[in-house]
Amino acid sequence: MIDILKQVEQTYADNRAFIVVGHSLGGGLAKLAGIVLNKTDALISVSGPGI
């Protein structure tokens, strides 16, 4: 998943905001992705587990 997010970031994020969003388990993944990428403009986690 992280490899895919890095590829998306490289392809589309040059002049755009990079926002990661997730709910429940996806919220936990969104948090981890934001930590790993460290270039997100916003991170929204709804009911995600504490990490």
Task: Give pLDDT tens digits for 18-46.
Answer: 788 888 888 888 888 888 887 778 878 88
Flag whether 40 is in a domain: yes
Flag whether 51 is in a domain: no
Domain count, the chain: 1
Q: Could you tell me if 13 and 30 are in contact, meaning their C-beta atoms sit under 8 angstroms apart?
A: no
Flag whether 11 is in a domain: yes
Q: In one letter, which amino acid is 22?
A: G
Flag whether 7 is in a domain: yes
| Residues spanned by the domain of 28 | 2-46
Least confident of 3-7, 31-35, 47-51: 47-51
Flag whether 20 is in a domain: yes
Flag whether 37 is in a domain: yes
pTM (2 d.p.): 0.65
